[in-house]
C-alpha cells in the first residue's frame, strides 16, 4: 500500500475545509438557488483529493497526463468550484459570487469547456459515473500502447445514491468490472439522503455486495468522512489495486457541521439561509458576518500545493516533446483517399458501405475505438482487422459492449472527453432511445463521437413495430449540435464519413439494413452541404426531396412525372443540420422556386420547413417482409407520383 503523504499544518487543513463549506453555503444563498448540503459533507474528501492525492497542474488544465476528476452528482457543483478557486484554476471570488448567473463561469452544473478544470458536463445522475468508465478505458488503452512513461494517471469519481440508482450505472459498472479497469477509483457518497427524504423509503441496496458482484474491489470505509488521514490512506491504497476498479463506500452526513440541518433531507437543496449559515460558520470558526471568506494565507498555501503539479507536468513534457498521434487523436496519412468509391448500379446496404468506410480509415486513426451493443457485425462497426479490448488486455480497438446501449453511449463520451480516443458505436436506430441522454450530453459538450444507427426504417420488416423506427430520425435531428446523416447510397455514405471525421462534434449515421442501388449522380463531396441537387430539370414544375432509401423513389418519380409533362428536380437531403448551416442563398438555389414534396420512411416532423407536402409514416409499422411494409405504408413510386400530382393541381 502506498504511504500517505506527510500532512501539512492540521489547522490549515481544518481552515481549508471550513472555507470550502462556507463557500458551499454562501454561493447558493447569493443565487437563492443551488445545493448546499452535499458539498458541505464532501468538503474533506475533495480537499484530500486536491491537496494530497490527485496529479494536476492548474497552469495547464489540459495536460495529457493529468488525473481526471468526475463529480457525478453535478448538483454539488459549488464543491468543485470552491476547489478550483483555491487551487488556482482561474476562478475568482467574483466568479463564485456569480454562481448560477447568466454567462457566469460557475453554472448550476459543471460544464466541460466552460470552466477550466472541469473535465465533464455532469448533472443527469448516473451519467458522470458511466462516463468515467469510458475515461478509464481510454487511459488503459493508451497506456497499453504507449507505456507509463507517457500515460500514467487515474480517473477519480465521486458518485451518489442517485447516480447508482440510475440504470446506466449498472451497465457501466458491469462493463468496468468485466474489463478490470484498475485505475478507475470511485468514492460513493453514502449519505442516505434524497430529495424525497431518507433513502430507506426507496432504497435497500447493498452497495458492497452489488459492486463485488460486478467484479470491483470494494472497501466499506464507514463513517470516516471527517478523518483526512484515513481518507488519504484509503485513496492511496486504491491506487495499488491494478486489476479491478475500486469502489470506496464512504458514509457521510449531509449538511455537516450544521447544528440544525445535518442529516436533514432539506439540506439536499437550498436550505441554508442567513441564520443557518451563521450557525454553521460559528461551529467552524468562520466569521458569521463575512461571506465568501478566503483568508490570504490559506489561499497562498493552497496555491503552493497545487503549483507542485507544474514540475511533474514540465518533466513529462520534457520527456514527451512531441506526443504521439494516438495520444493527440490526430490522423495519419491520406484517410480521405482511403475511403471507398462505388459505381452506379452497385447494390449495397448503407450499413455495409459504412463498415467498408470504417475498415478503410481505421489504419489512419490510431485513436479509433469501434464497438457495438451486441450488434457489432449487424451495425457495421466490426473491424476486419480489429483486436478486442478484453479483460486485463486493453490495447485493442474493438469493444464488445454487450446489451448495454445506454452505457455504451456514455462510455463513448468518456473516451472522447479523456482524449486520445475516437469512439464509434453501433446499435439499431430504434434503440437510439436508450442512447439519447448520452447523445444529448455529447452534443452539449461538443464531443467527437460517431454513432452507427442501422436498420433505419420500416424496411426492417418481420421484426415488426417494436424494431421499426418511426420517430427516431426526427428525434435525433431535434438535438442541437448533433449532425445527423441519412445517406442515400454507398457514395453518400462515404461522404457522410468524411464529414463526420472532419467535424468537432458528434455525428449520427443513419443507415439501411436492406441493399440500396448506388445512384448515378450522388456526390460524396456534396454530402457535407446537407442537401444538393441530384437531378435537375429546366423550368422544373416541382421539386422532390428525399433522404436515405427514399431518394431512389424520388428519381423514378421524377422520370414518370417528366413523361406526364411535369419537369421535376430531385434534391437529396442527407443532413438537415448541414443544410441549415448553409446561407439562405445557397439553400434557395438548391430548393428552387417550384412547389416541393418530400418523402421519408418516418414521421413527417421537420420536413415541412422545406416542403409543401410530405409523404411520411406518421404511425407505427407492422410485421411483414420489409418491402411489403414499405409499399403498404406509402413508400412507393406510385404514391409519390400521385401526391406530387395532387400538389401540382392544388398549386394550380
Same domain, 474 and 549: no
Q: What is the pLDDT of residue 652?
A: 80
Same domain, 469 and 536: no
In a domain, 543, yes or no: yes
Same domain, 201 and 264: yes
Same domain, 124 and 207: yes
Cell reading at 227: 478523518
Of 271, 291, 319, which residue constitutes the final position of a domain? Answer: 319
Same domain, 489 and 580: no
Look up the pTM and report it.
0.96
Of 291, 319, 347, which residue constitutes the final position of a domain? Answer: 319
Same domain, 231 and 373: no
Q: Is 405 noted as a catalytic residue in this protein?
A: yes
pLDDT over 50 at 3, yes or no: no
Grid look-up 441537387 returns 533
The number of beta carbons lying within 10 Å of the beta carbon of residue 81 is 28
In a domain, 324, yes or no: no
End-to-end Cα spacing for the chain = 84
**CATH label of the domain that carries residue 387:** 3.40.50.970
Q: Tell me the mean pLDDT in the region 487-515.
A: 97
Same domain, 340 and 266: no
Same domain, 361 and 495: yes
Same domain, 61 and 199: yes
In a domain, 190, yes or no: yes
In a domain, 330, yes or no: no
In a domain, 368, yes or no: yes
pLDDT tens-digit map of 79-134: 999 999 999 999 999 999 999 999 999 999 999 999 999 999 999 999 999 999 99
Q: Tell me the mean pLDDT in the region 445-469.
A: 97
Same domain, 546 and 644: yes
In a domain, 309, yes or no: yes
**CATH label of the domain that carries residue 621:** 3.40.50.920
Cell reading at 235: 485513496
In a domain, 328, yes or no: no
Q: What is the pLDDT of residue 635?
A: 98
Of 517, 550, 570, which residue constitutes the final position of a domain? Answer: 517
- Cα–Cα distance between 417 and 421 in angstroms, integer? 8
**Which one is catalytic: 119, 166, 232, 405?**
405
Same domain, 459 and 564: no
- Cα–Cα distance between 26 and 96 in angstroms, integer? 9
* Contact (Cβ atoms closer than 8 angstroms) between residue 117 and residue 87: yes
In a domain, 249, yes or no: yes
Same domain, 310 and 169: yes
Range of the domain at 238: 10-319
Tally of domains in the chain? 3
- Cα–Cα distance between 624 and 458 in angstroms, integer? 9
Mean pLDDT value across the chain: 96
pLDDT over 90 at 6, yes or no: no
- Show Cβ contacts of residue 61 under 8 Å, excluding neighbours closer than 6 positions: 89, 116, 117
pLDDT tens-digit map of 554-608: 999 999 999 999 999 999 999 999 999 999 999 999 999 999 999 999 999 999 9
**DSSP states of 460-477:** G-TT-TTTS-SSHHHHHH
Q: Which of 606, 63, 617 is nearest to 314 (CA)?
A: 63
Amino acid at each position: 500500500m502506498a504511504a500517505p503523504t506527510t500532512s501539512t499544518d492540521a489547522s490549515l487543513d481544518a481552515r481549508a475545509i471550513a472555507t470550502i463549506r462556507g463557500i458551499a453555503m454562501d454561493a447558493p444563498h447569493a443565487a437563492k438557488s443551488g445545493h448546499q448540503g452535499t458539498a458541505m459533507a464532501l468538503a474533506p474528501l475533495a480537499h484530500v483529493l486536491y491537496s494530497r492525492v490527485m496529479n494536476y497542474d492548474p497552469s495547464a488544465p489540459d495536460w495529457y497526463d493529468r488525473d481526471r476528476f468526475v463529480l457525478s452528482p453535478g448538483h454539488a457543483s459549488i464543491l468543485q468550484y470552491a476547489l478550483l478557486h483555491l487551487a488556482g484554476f482561474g476562478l475568482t471570488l467574483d466568479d463564485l459570487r456569480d454562481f448560477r448567473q447568466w454567462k457566469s463561469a460557475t453554472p448550476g452544473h459543471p460544464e466541460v469547456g466552460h470552466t477550466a478544470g472541469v473535465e465533464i458536463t455532469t448533472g443527469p445522475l448516473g451519467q458522470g459515473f458511466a462516463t468515467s468508465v469510458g475515461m478509464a478505458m481510454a487511459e488503459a488503452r493508451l497506456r497499453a500502447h504507449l507505456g507509463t512513461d507517457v500515460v500514467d494517471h487515474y480517473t477519480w469519481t465521486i458518485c451518489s445514491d442517485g447516480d447508482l440508482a440510475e440504470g446506466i450505472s449498472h451497465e457501466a459498472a458491469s462493463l468496468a468490472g468485466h474489463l478490470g479497469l484498475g485505475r478507475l477509483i470511485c468514492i460513493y457518497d453514502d449519505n442516505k439522503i434524497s430529495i424525497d427524504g431518507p433513502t430507506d423509503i426507496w432504497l435497500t441496496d447493498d452497495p458492497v455486495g452489488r459492486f463485488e458482484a460486478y467484479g470491483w474491489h470494494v472497501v466499506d470505509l464507514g463513517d470516516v468522512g471527517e478523518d483526512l488521514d484515513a481518507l488519504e490512506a484509503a485513496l492511496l491504497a486504491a491506487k495499488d489495486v491494478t486489476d479491478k476498479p475500486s469502489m470506496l463506500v464512504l458514509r457521510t452526513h449531509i449538511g455537516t457541521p450544521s447544528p440544525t440541518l445535518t442529516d436533514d433531507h432539506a439540506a439536499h437543496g437550498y436550505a441554508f439561509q442567513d441564520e443557518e449559515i451563521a450557525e454553521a460558520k460559528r461551529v467552524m470558526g468562520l466569521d458569521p458576518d463575512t461571506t465568501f471568506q478566503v483568508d490570504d494565507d490559506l489561499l497562498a498555501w493552497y496555491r503552493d500545493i497545487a503549483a507542485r503539479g507544474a514540475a511533474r507536468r514540465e518533466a513529462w513534457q520534457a520527456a514527451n516533446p512531441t506526443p504521439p498521434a494516438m495520444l493527440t487523436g490526430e490522423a495519419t496519412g491520406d484517410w480521405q483517399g482511403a475511403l471507398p468509391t462505388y459505381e452506379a448500379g452497385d447494390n449495397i446496404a448503407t450499413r455495409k458501405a459504412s463498415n467498408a468506410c470504417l475498415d478503410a480509415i481505421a489504419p489512419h486513426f490510431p485513436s479509433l475505438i469501434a464497438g457495438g451493443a451486441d450488434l457489432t457485425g449487424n451495425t457495421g462497426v466490426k473491424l476486419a482487422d480489429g483486436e478486442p479490448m478484453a479483460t486485463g488486455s486493453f490495447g485493442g480497438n474493438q469493444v464488445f459492449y454487450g446489451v448495454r446501449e445506454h452505457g455504451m453511449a456514455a462510455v463513448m463520451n468518456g473516451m472522447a472527453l479523456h482524449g486520445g480516443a475516437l469512439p464509434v458505436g453501433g446499435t439499431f436506430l430504434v434503440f437510439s432511445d436508450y442512447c439519447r441522454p448520452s447523445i444529448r450530453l455529447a452534443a452539449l459538450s461538443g464531443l467527437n463521437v460517431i454513432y452507427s444507427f442501422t436498420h433505419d426504417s420500416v424496411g426492417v420488416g418481420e421484426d415488426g413495430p417494436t424494431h421499426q423506427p418511426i420517430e427516431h430520425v426526427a428525434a435525433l435531428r431535434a438535438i442541437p449540435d448533433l449532425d445527423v446523416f441519412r445517406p442515400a447510397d454507398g457514395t453518400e455514405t462515404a461522404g457522410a464519413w468524411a464529414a463526420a471525421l472532419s467535424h468537432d462534434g458528434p455525428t449520427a449515421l443513419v443507415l439501411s439494413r436492406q441493399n440500396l442501388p448506388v445512384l448515378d449522380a450522388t456526390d460524396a463531396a456534396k454530402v457535407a452541404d446537407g442537401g444538393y441537387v441530384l437531378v435537375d430539370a429546366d423550368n422544373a414544375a416541382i421539386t422532390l426531396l428525399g433522404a436515405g432509401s427514399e431518394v431512389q423513389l424520388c428519381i423514378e418519380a421524377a422520370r414518370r412525372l417528366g413523361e406526364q409533362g411535369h419537369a421535376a428536380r430531385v434534391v437529396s437531403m442527407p443532413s438537415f443540420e448541414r443544410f441549415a448551416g448553409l446561407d439562405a442563398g445557397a439553400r434557395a438555389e438548391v430548393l428552387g422556386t417550384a412547389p416541393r414534396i418530400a418523402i421519408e420512411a418516418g414521421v413527417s416532423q421537420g420536413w415541412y420547413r422545406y416542403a409543401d407536402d410530405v409523404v411520411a409514416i406518421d404511425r407505427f409499422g407492422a410485421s411483414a417482409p420489409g418491402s411489403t411494409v414499405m409499399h403498404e405504408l406509402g413508400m412507393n413510386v406510385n404514391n409519390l407520383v400521385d401526391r406530387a400530382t395532387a400538389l401540382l393541381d392544388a398549386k394550380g
